[in-house]
Amino acid sequence: MRAPILKLTLIATIFSVSVSLFLTIAHELFSEKEVEFDDTVLHYVSTHLPSQRIGSSMVMISFFASGNFLVFCYACLYSYYAVLKKRRSLAFYVLSTGLSGFLVNVLLKLLFRRQRPAYPLISPPNDFSFPSGHATAAFIFYGLIVYLLWRSNLRIWLKYLLSACLVLFSVAIGFSRIFLRVHYPTDVLAGFCVGIAWLSLSFYLYGKWNGTFPDKNQSRHQLTS
C-alpha cells in the first residue's frame, strides 16, 4: 500500500505548489499592480514573431481548447466509456472534471474581472481575461487524456512519448493565446496553475471514490506495520 501513499503525496504536492503559484501571481497583479512581466513578454512577442507568418497556425492551435471543440470531445469520451466500455464511473469522472473546471474558471474570472489586452489579433471573447480559460481547459482536458493513456495497455515508451506531446501541446495552446493578444502572459500562467490544481484535486477525489487511496486509519496502519 506504499504506492497509493506515494501517489497521494505527489498529488498533494502538485496541488499545493499550483495553488501557491496562482496566489502569488494574483497578489503581484492585483495587490502590487506589477505588470512589467506582461508588458515585456507582449512587447517581445509582437516585435520578434511575425504575425502574418504564424498567425493562422496560432489560431488553429488555439481552437483545440475552444469551447465547441472540447464539448464535442467530452461528449465522445463520455459516450465511449459509458456506452461502449460500460465504465460509467470513469465516464462520469471525465465529464464532471471538465465541467467543474470550466465553472471554476468562470468564477475566478468574475472574481478578478481583469480586462483583456489592447489590440488583439482576433476578435476576443466577451468575458474577462484572468485566468485564461483556454490554458485552464487545455491542462484539464489533455491531462485527462494522459491519465486515460496510462490506464491503457499501450507500451510504456509510447505512454511517455504521448504524454510529453500532450503536455507540450497544452503549453502551445497557452502561448497561442498570448501571441493572439487575447490574454496576458500572467493570465496563461495562472490558467495553467488552475488547470493543474483542479486536475490533481480531481485525481484525489476519484481515487477516494474508487478506493485507490487509503483512508487515515489504513494509512497509519501501513506506516506502522
Mean predicted confidence (pLDDT) in 200-224: 66
Structure confidence at residue 211 (pLDDT): 64
Q: What is the mean pLDDT of residues 169-179?
A: 97
Q: Are 198 and 100 in contact (CB under 8 A)?
A: yes
Handedness of CA 205, 4, 217, 211 (dihedral sign): positive
Helix (H, G, I), strand (E, B) or coil at 1: coil
Q: Which of 26-30, 123-127, 208-212 has the highest mean pLDDT?
A: 26-30
Alpha carbon distance 73, 64 (integer Å): 10
Number of domains in the chain: 1
Burial 68-81 (b: 16+ CB within 10 A, else e): eebeebbeebbeeb
| More confident position, 54 or 161 | 161
Cell of 21: 503559484
The C-alpha atoms of residue 91 and residue 94 are separated, in whole angstroms, by 5
Helices (H), ranges, the chain:
2-26, 36-48, 51-63, 67-79, 88-112, 133-150, 156-179, 185-210, 216-224
Tell me how far apart the alpha carbons of residues 83 and 208 are, in angstroms, rounded to a whole number.
24
According to DSSP, residue 31 is labeled I
Three-state secondary-structure class, residue 39: helix
pLDDT of 51 over the 90 cut: no
- The reported pTM is 0.89
**Average pLDDT score over residue span 104-119:** 96
Q: Specify the amino acid at residue 184.
A: Y
Whether the CB-CB separation of 55 and 178 falls below 8 Å is answered with: no
Give the number of other CB atoms < 10 A from CB of residue 221.
12
pLDDT of residue 224: 40
Per-residue pLDDT, 48: 87
Q: What is the distance, to the nearest Å, from the Cα of residue 76 to the centroid of all Cα atoms in its chain?
A: 19
CA–CA gap between residue 58 and residue 122 (Å, rounded): 11
Domain that holds residue 214: 2-224
